[in-house]
Amino acid sequence: MEIIATYGPQFLGLACIAGFFMAWGIGANDVANAMGTSVGSGALTIRQAILIAIVFEFLGAYFAGGEVTATIRKGIIDPNLLADTPELLVYGMMSALFAAGTWLMIASVRGWPVSTTHSIVGAIVGFAAVGISVESVNWSQVTTIAASWVISPVLAGIISFALFLSVQRLIFDTDEPFRQAKRLIPVYIWIVGFMISMVTILKGLKHLGLELDFGLGSKFANALPLSVAIGILIALVGAYFLREIQYVEDEDNRFSSVERVFGVLMVFTACSMAFAHGSNDVANAVGPLAAVANIVQSRGLVSSTAPMPTWILLTGAAGIVVGLATYGWKVIATVGQKITELTPSRGFAATLAAATTVVFASGTGLPISTTHTLVGAVLGVGLARGIAAIDLRVIGSIFMSWLITLPAGAVLAIIFFYTLRGIFG
């Protein structure tokens, strides 16, 4: 308690720097993963993808980032075991942020698409198991998170596989694919708007103190009509832009005009993916920051429940935006062009599947890996075209970087933990 009272302002300042640094790494590496399909398919330029991500990553982090933040903040370590030594939790959370941020910086410089969730969870488990005790880790929660790293890419792969097959049968295999595309793509756009709206209304507005009540009983019943309406509005906007696309004969590719229609759809799915990513992965930066802030502001009280201050979510959202704008282009180029050949229609299926998986995981508080999810979705699209459509060497190198991430985060966290403990006592 005495250490917290003595060094409280320094701890809070260091935690803010560490949280922003971690958020920068998320923006430089993981957001690039999220936008890679849009750039790789040719639907968006890197500049356009970065501008879209800046806006929607911020909105997702701010409006729908609270649920997962709670898991990272107080779900992995049992806070009751640290009631008498709150400074250890402060050292640990700061070391986890510095460790994960350092690893993400190294990976981003080398163009490796790694998992920020792996980085921060591995770092928290590493410092807790070695620096405190093995019993301080909530291993059941860690097991649940680890299971999600397997389940999420499989689920995203299945969804993307089904979406691409639906596109294949309903549009490409018809007599008039261009007309079918202009007729059906507003429906896909509606799905995007509806899915994002439902999760935001049900889960994302909680930390803002906003509750929607239309007298329909449950939260789901209240959110359903509004989400349907928002989806229709977004679909109408998409239909308006589709009117501008005219059929152009192309002897080399009879589907070129259809792909141009899907290019419009990719703008909407890119927005949804950026929102989904911000809602889930901001927790990796602001969860530990929130834990430190709560302890410092309560003068050493370790609580299992605490409010999420708005300024902390803003710090994480701002860091993500800066990281994306300054260094996101490198991993965008890696992910978007090397796993499998992407077109707007294939990129749509992968992006919407990944966004759906991430948003619903965010709504349930499960910190899944966006990288795993997106790669699983891209693999699903590739498998729909046959195993030969996938570059297995690239997939192998990506899997290897995932394996390195966990121990790298843990080792770096242990080093930072003992450094901070040595400095402050």
- The answer, yes or no, to whether residue 423 has pLDDT greater than 80, is yes
Cα separation, 420 vs 425, whole angstroms: 8
The mean pLDDT of 157-179, rounded to a whole number, is: 89
Please state, for a pLDDT cut of 70, what percent of the chain lies above it. 83
How far is CA 399 from each of CA 37, 100, 339, 375, 379, rounded to the nearest angstrom? 18, 18, 12, 10, 13
The pLDDT tens digits for 239-271 are 888 888 888 877 677 788 888 888 888 888 888
The mean pLDDT of 345-351, rounded to a whole number, is: 83
Nearest to 57 by CA among 319, 336, 419, 356: 319
Backbone angles phi, psi at 137, to 5 degrees: -85, 130
Contact by Cβ (8 Å): 293, 129: no
Q: Number of folded domains in the chain?
A: 1
End-to-end Cα spacing for the chain: 12
Name the residue range of residue 92's domain: 2-424
Mean of pLDDT over the chain: 80
The mean pLDDT of 157-164, rounded to a whole number, is: 87
Q: How many CA atoms lie within 13 A of 7 on its CB side?
A: 17
pTM of the entire structure? Answer: 0.78
For position 20, what pLDDT does the model report? 94
The mean pLDDT of 29-58, rounded to a whole number, is: 80
Count of CB atoms within 10 A of residue 229's CB? 13
Cα separation, 288 vs 11, whole angstroms: 12
For position 218, what pLDDT does the model report? 63
Higher pLDDT, 287 or 184: 184
Confidence grade of residue 15 (pLDDT, cut at 50, 70, 90): very high
Nearest to 61 by CA among 390, 364, 282, 303: 282
Nearest to 256 by CA among 266, 265, 246: 246
Nearest to 113 by CA among 384, 333, 365, 420: 333
